[in-house]
Amino acid sequence: MGQEQIANDAERSSPFPIEEVRAQFPALAEPFLYFDNAAGAQIPQRVLDAVTHHLLHSNVQRGGRYPKSEAVDRVIAEARAKVALLLNAADPEEVAFGMNATSFIRTISLAIGQSLPPQRNEIVVTDLDHDANVATWLALRDMGARIVFWRMRDDYRLHVEDLVPLLSERTRLVACTAVSHALGTLVDITSVAAAAHAVGAEMFVDCVHYTPHALVDVQAWGCDYLVCSGYKAFSPHMGFLWGRREKLRSLPTFREDFIPDEPPYKIEAGTFIYENVAGMAAAVDYLGWLGGKLLLPGASANPRAKIEAAMAGIAGYERRLSAALLEALRGCDAVIYGTQEVEERVPTISFNVNGMAPADVTAAMAAKGIGIRDGHMYAPRLMGRLGLAMDSGAVRASLVHYNRLDEVEHFSEVLRSLIARQ
């Protein structure tokens, strides 16, 4: 059964429990309309509780022989298992924790750069990606890498047919996003991984923007490395990396001599923020809770089935948000950057309003209690492709599954009145 079919079935059998969902997120009680989720999402109460519990009861270093320290070891091990469940990783030890996505991309890219054979030195990057997944690879030019750009078409999508001719026995790795954090357009990651593997190359996925919106499945996708920021996926600030065990084993990474040359330890430099890792585990529990509400009657209630049900329900509900937001923007005669096909996107939409500077739009919306973002979205090449200046860029509204259709309606009314005053 396809993801879309599951979402439709889920929507038919149990409508998306939006009010119950919102009640999980204490920050949503404030009178503020939050449409800047691509920059970081709010957290459920259970995540807050997990962080607080950790700080109150286990705020010590791991690896000691006393109970509080042993509790930290358990929290980390459980969090690896929960994140492995979220990603459908074969082994929790393939999950490494750290500060953020960018530092993990840098760690892996440096390791790849240090072991780059001259006859296989090409790295493919895209002009759709966040610069965290471009600049980090461009920096390998100093280490002998040759960079090849896979360019977005004018329909705002990356087409795998355009990637294939760029690949050869010289390709070391393809780095690309699963969905654009600026335009909201999805990328066919399974086909990208298959194309990369067909020439003996590896595939690195930036999953930062995708994870809060749809189901991740590293085994079905066939990718080799994947990076996420927990703070975009309902956890506090932290990041995690997944990599195939044998790939991570063979990479040369920095570690002190006493750190085992084994994943995940060889990927985790120093101490990370344990309380936020506890929060990430609770964020996965939250998704399991939501999935439990959305499971089809009689369906298996195993933990992965709950994650699948949650993400299918989220994806289906978010398509309705996308459709409403697109309609609202069309009603304002906004220039919309990105596909208008809701099946091919998430509700992250960049746009411009004729005659208004993006910063003026977001400032005026902020004055009305609406949080959206303007600027280059950390994607300089994408701004170039869209014909937008780096110092002004576009306006971006980014929604997740706790946003409501009536919020889109309110956003639309405020934007329309702003334009009418011009």
Ligand X SMILES: Cc1ncc(COP(=O)(O)O)c(C=O)c1O
Chain residues in the site for ligand X (CB under 6 A): 100-102, 130, 132-133, 177, 181, 206, 208-209, 229, 239
Strands lying side by side in the sheet with 122-126: 95-98, 239-243, 225-229, 202-206, 171-177, 122-126, 146-150
- Cβ-defined contacts of 301-304 (< 8 Å, 24+): 303/85, 304/85, 304/88
The end-to-end CA distance of the chain, in Å, is: 49
Residues 6+ apart with CB under 8 A from 242: 83, 84, 87, 89, 94, 95, 96, 218, 225, 226, 227, 228
Compare residues 172 and 209 and give the one whose CB is closer to ligand X: 209
Please identify, using beta-carbon distances, which residue of 121 and 253 lies nearer to ligand X: 253
Question: Please, which residue, 102 or 362, has the CB nearer to ligand X?
Answer: 102
State the minimum distance, in angstroms, from the CB of residue 1 to ligand X.
Answer: 28
Give phi and psi for 301, each to the nearest 5.
Answer: -105, 35
Q: How far is the CB of 230 from ligand X (least distance, A)?
A: 8
- Please state the closest distance from residue 206 (CB atom) to ligand X, in A: 5
CB nearer ligand X, residue 183 or residue 195: 183
Work out how close the CB of 38 gets to ligand X at its nearest, in angstroms, rounded to a whole number: 6
Q: What is the closest distance, in whole angstroms, from the C-beta atom of residue 100 to ligand X in the complex? A: 3
Minimum CB distance to ligand X smaller for 72 or for 226:
226
At 393 the three-state DSSP class reads strand
C-beta separation of 93 from 80 below 8 A: yes
Residue type for position 144: G
**Segment (H or E) for 76:** helix 67-87
Q: How far is the CB of 215 from ligand X (least distance, A)?
A: 17
Residue closer to ligand X by CB (options 210, 351) is 210
Query: What is the CB neighbour count within 10 angstroms for residue 59?
Result: 11
In angstroms, give the least distance from the CB of 237 to ligand X: 8
Nearest to 125 by CA among 69, 171, 89, 168: 171
List Cβ neighbours of 4 (8 Å cut-off, separation of 6 or more): 315, 316, 343
Question: Quick one: 208 or 294, whose CB is closer to ligand X?
Answer: 208
